Amino acid sequence: MLNPIKMLKVIALCLTAQLWGNAHAADTISVAGKYIEKPMKVMVALPSSYDRGDTPSKFPTIYLLNGHGGDYRNWSQIVDIDSVATAMNAIVVCPSGRNSWYWDSPVVPGMQMESFIIKELVPEIDRRYRTRTDAAGRAITGLSMGGHGGLWLGMRHPDVFGTAGSTSGGVDIRPFPESWHMADFLGKRDEFPERWDSHTVINLVDSIQPGKPNIIFDCGTDDFFYEVNCQLDKALNDRKIPHRFLTAPGGHWNGYWRKSIHPQLEFFRRAFNGTLDI
């Protein structure tokens, strides 16, 4: 765990990325699939180097997942994703989570979000854009519900996402059985306790291997998800799974995420470049 002072120093260095210029305005595309009931709007930001002939022909991708109640515009209201794409020399993809918690719902047939992202969205992004198609060239993270989604999808699909993160993520859903419409997609916890156990990030720890994926997550010390994030950190340490866990003063709000995303982006950059040392 990094202490708050060290984290703030990292943030100060990474915030300069927002000052880099950009030539592309983010695209909004529509992606349909058999796993969701209607097409999804997805925001895609390209780096300013995308059209230059002297740049790599293939670009890494960063998937940013929104929180509960948000959509594909969520992250663009927190940071300038065009500038992030340019600073990272990567393609940034922002889908719409539709309050799904990024599971395949065993209750709602038209809400198979995990399958949609893995089997339809990622291949469609790779088809439309010049992406690296190796797992080492993809990273995924998100905020709150999207933080759960980033680790859920990354831990379950390390062959797709080589690096996974979470900021203020609900990494153990079980203490919150009445919140955020989770019961609508899983059924009530007291009726389906095993289902809730099998759909929470913290219970994936025993199934993953070191470095598959690379893991980074953070949470503010004033956040209602702080304790479950500390428990995830402990579970990973107990299993000797290398990871990075950051904390700093802050709550569950945009001001915290506006800062917290930058250490994760630097982590992703090093993963893409093969220079990551956890």
* Per-domain residue ranges of the chain: 4-273
Amino acid 179: pLDDT: 95
Architecture of domain 4-273: 3-Layer(aba) Sandwich (3.40)
Tens of pLDDT along the chain (278 residues) come to 444 434 444 443 444 334 334 346 789 999 999 999 999 999 999 999 998 876 778 999 999 999 999 999 999 999 999 999 999 999 999 999 999 999 999 999 999 999 999 999 999 999 999 999 999 999 999 999 999 999 999 999 999 999 999 999 999 999 999 999 999 999 999 999 999 999 999 999 999 999 999 999 999 999 999 999 999 999 999 999 999 999 999 999 999 999 999 999 999 999 999 999 98
CA distance to 1, 73, 102, 204, 206, per residue, from 188 (Å): 34, 30, 18, 21, 25
Amino acid 115: pLDDT: 98
Amino acid 219: pLDDT: 98
Amino acid 6: pLDDT: 44
Is-contact 68 145, C-beta < 8 A?
A: yes
Is-contact 259 15, C-beta < 8 A?
A: yes
Amino acid 24: pLDDT: 64
Q: How many CB atoms lie within 10 A of CB 119?
A: 15
Amino acid 56: pLDDT: 73
Identity of the residue numbered 246: L
| 113: helix, strand or coil | helix
Give the sheet arrangement for strand 91-94, strand by strand.
27-31, 40-45, 91-94, 61-65, 138-142, 163-167, 214-220, 244-248
Identity of the residue numbered 208: I
Joined tokens for residue 97 = 């989570």
Identity of the residue numbered 114: E
